[in-house]
Amino acid sequence: MSLHISEKTALMPSSAIRKLVPLSDAAEAKGIKVYHLNVGAPDIKSPDCAINAVMERCAGMHHLSYTNSAGLIQLRRDLVEKYYRKIGIDIEVSELLVEVAGSEAFASAMQIAADRGDEIIVIEPYYTNYQTFAYLNGITLKAVHTSIENDFAIPDISEFEALVTDRTRAVLISNPCNPSGKLFTKEEMLKIGDFCKRHDLFLISDEVYREFCYTDEPHFSAMNIPGCEQNVILVDSVSKRYNLCGARIGCIISHNKEVMAAALKFAQSRLCPPVLGQYAAIGALDTPQSYFDEVKKEYIARRDCAVRMLNAIPGVKASMPYGAFYTIAELPIDNAEDFCRWMLAEFSHDGATTMVTPAAAFYKTPGEGKNQVRVAYVLEVGELEKAINTLALGLEQYLQSR
């Protein structure tokens, strides 16, 4: 025998979103400015009340102790009363548990729903880390396909039915969707809920972008599908909602007592969620509605800018997103990953380049998304314009150099 790492970790795919980071680090080390449209890391100001809450707790603090594995009781109560009840999601404190961001919440939810060899139905394109945690836990993702050609509309429920086997355990959706920006209608949610009930499947609903919706209709949460109370596991983020990504605070919510008991066992195994982040989250819950109204206006301006400019590039087709802060763009190339690498390693214009994410890893179906990229419109309009102009120039030069 020789010393080698486990097969599981050797074969584990690198994050599609983060694996090009060494190339952008190298570009930045050479003095090149990189416009980061690759990660959903907004530059929007965090609410003052969140940051102030951290400072107030720190002032005169004796020691920073563990909290309950489920999170500080004040945070759990405040989440229920100041946020969920206000937006029409009616839950008890015992039906919510604080997680290390949305990431831990869906990783736990997937394991609670499915054993090794079991299957979870997803809608492609999907958030790539769903695949990572499926891989790590021996769960197979089966994908219902949606297409940029018709704005990622959810197909007839018969396409879900066609994927059901005796190992199917859950449907996992992201609404609004990262990466497509698709916002599910109430009607679509009711149909998916009905499908889950008929087949006794969990419905894991990742709603971390709930407050980033750009239509006049309110977001319809899976928690409000009538009769689906025992099926739904809600995955949510506090840090994303309040532009506090670094706080790493999210939650898992379910009316299903078995689910919550299992979630607590996972939570206890990592002792407690980050406590300074929990303080920020408690403070954030006092954020006024006007903050979200401003943020929404800002993202609509950015989205409109990104979609307009992308579609103006010859051969490029970008979809119109109705939520989250991503759009999928189809480029007139064969291999978007090669292009993204080239943009970082070989191209710059006026000392700058643009980083976007190759989209193939958001799809299960082989070959799908190979000519697509995910563009995160997370810069203010002036910077976004420069970033997309730089992308357009890079694309032109890339095409000429082939």
Would you give the end-to-end CA distance of the chain in angstroms? 46
For helices 101-113 and 257-269, what crossing angle results, to 10°?
120
Query: 141 forms bridges with which residues in the sheet?
Result: 120
In the bound state with its own copies, the residue whose beta carbon lies nearer, of 102 and 394, is: 102
Residue 344 binds to its own copies (criterion: CB under 8 A): no
Which residue, chain included where needed, has tokens 């949606």?
Answer: 146
Q: Which of 125, 274, 321, 358 binds its own copies (CB under 8 A)?
A: 274
**Residue with smaller CB distance to its own copies, 88 or 138:** 138
- CB 135, min distance to its own copies, A: 10
166 in contact with its own copies (CB under 8 A) = yes
122 binds its own copies per the rule CB under 8 A: no
| Site membership for its own copies, residue 273 (CB under 8 A) | yes
Give me the least distance between CB of 29 and its own copies, in Å please: 11
Amino acid at site 242: Y
Q: Which of 88, 218, 227, 246 binds its own copies (CB under 8 A)?
A: 246
Separation between Cα atoms, residue 207 and residue 176, nearest integer Å: 7
Query: Nearest CA to 372 among 181, 125, 173, 145?
Result: 125
Asked if residue 4 binds its own copies (CB under 8 A), the reply is yes
Nearer to its own copies, 48 or 346 (CB): 48
* Residue 308: both structure tokens together: 């307009």
User: Which string of x and - marks every residue 204-243 that binds its own copies (by CB under 8 A)?
Assistant: --------------------------xx-------x---x
DSSP class of residue 17 equals T
- Indicate the residue among 219 and 364 with the shorter CB distance to its own copies: 364
- Number of residues written out for the chain: 402
Q: Choose which of 35, 83, 126, 133 interacts with its own copies (CB under 8 A).
A: 133
Q: Considering beta carbons, is residue 18 or 82 the nearer one to its own copies?
A: 18
93 touches its own copies by CB under 8 A: no
Instruction: Tell whether residue 373 is a contact of its own copies (CB under 8 A).
Output: no
Nearer to its own copies, 290 or 401 (CB): 290
Choose, by CB under 8 A, the member of 213, 262, 295, 336 that binds its own copies. Answer: 262
DSSP string, 118-150: -EEEEEES--HHHHHHHHHTTPEEEEEE--GGG
User: Using the rule CB under 8 A, is 199 a contact of its own copies?
Assistant: yes
CB 373 within 8 A of CB 332: no
The yes or no reply on residue 202 touching its own copies (CB under 8 A) is yes
Indicate whether 129 belongs to the interface with its own copies (CB under 8 A): yes
Residue 280 near its own copies by CB under 8 A: yes
Least distance (Å) between residue 205 CB and its own copies? 15
**Is the CB of 101 or the CB of 392 nearer to its own copies?**
101
266 touches its own copies (CB under 8 A): yes
Place of tokens 């802060």: 325
What is the amino acid identity at position 223?
Answer: M
In degrees and rounded to multiples of 5, residue 17 shows phi and psi of -80, -35
Shorter beta-carbon distance to its own copies: residue 64 or 312:
64
Listed ranges 128-136, 155-163, 330-338, 353-361: which one lies at the site for its own copies (CB under 8 A) = 128-136
**CA nearest neighbour of 364 among 123, 97, 193, 68:** 123
* Token pair belonging to 220: 């319809």
The whole-angstrom separation of Cα 258 and Cα 199 is 18
* Cα separation values, 177 from 128, 154, 289, 330, Å: 12, 12, 23, 17
Rounded to the nearest whole angstrom, what is the least distance from the CB of residue 201 to its own copies in the complex? 7
Segment 22 to 81, residues that bind its own copies, using CB under 8 A? 39, 41-46, 50-51, 54-55, 58-59, 61-69
Burial of 321 by CB count in 10 Å (0-12 exposed, 13-18 middle, 19+ buried)? Answer: buried
Nearer to its own copies, 141 or 393 (CB): 141
Count of residues that bind its own copies according to CB under 8 A: 89
* CA–CA gap between residue 5 and residue 247 (Å, rounded): 32
Phi, psi of 109 (to 5 degrees): -60, -40
**Interacting span for its own copies (CB under 8 A) from 78-86, 180-188, 252-260, 324-332:** 252-260
